Amino acid sequence: TQLLEQSPQFLSIQEGENLTVYCNSSSVFSSLQWYRQEPGEGPVLLVTVVTGGEVKKLKRLTFQFGDARKDSSLHITAAQPGDTGLYLCAGAVGNAGNMLTFGGGTRLMVKP
């Protein structure tokens, strides 16, 4: 059973469009992170959200943590080809809080 479900799995859009990807779970997480992975590389951390209801903005990217700390969303405004990649959410588990469980990812392609 996958702890974190991401949707959609694949998304292909034109440059300039807006999009939202979702990360859902039945479990509560102390924190949740979003990573982006490009082909041939490891994931790179985009943001960490900690407080229920928290909203963080990173240029054209807006991240939200659900009030109950079970879900999160990533919204991209005016997508660009450089946004293309695999977006992964990850929740902190384990007693030390340093083990991450990852969702299956959303593969985004932004066409020029």
Partner 1 sequence: ETGVTQTPRHLVMGMTNKKSLKCEQHLGHNAMYWYKQSAKKPLELMFVYNFKEQTENNSVPSRFSPECPNSSHLFLHLHTLQPEDSALYLCASSQVPGGLPRGYTFGSGTRLTVV
Q: Judged by CB under 8 A, which of 42, 59, 82, 112 binds partner 1?
A: 42
Binding region for partner 1 (CB under 8 A) out of 15-23, 44-52, 60-68, 70-78: 44-52
Count the neighbouring beta carbons within 10 Å of the beta carbon of residue 42: 7
Cβ atoms of residues 110 and 84 within 8 Å: yes
In this structure, the dihedral spanned by the alpha carbons of residues 46, 49, 54 and 59, taken in order and rounded to 10 degrees, is -10
Minimum distance between the CB of residue 49 and partner 1, rounded to whole angstroms? Answer: 11
Residues between 49 and 88 with contacts to partner 1, criterion CB under 8 A: 50, 88
C-alpha span between 84 and 71 (Å, rounded): 23
The sign of the dihedral angle between the CA atoms of 64, 36, 70, 32 is negative
Residue 92 contacts partner 1 per CB under 8 A = yes
> Is residue 105 a contact residue for partner 1 (CB under 8 A)?
yes
Q: Footprint of partner 1 on this chain (CB under 8 A)?
A: 2, 4, 30-31, 33, 35, 40-45, 48, 50, 88, 90, 92, 94, 96-105
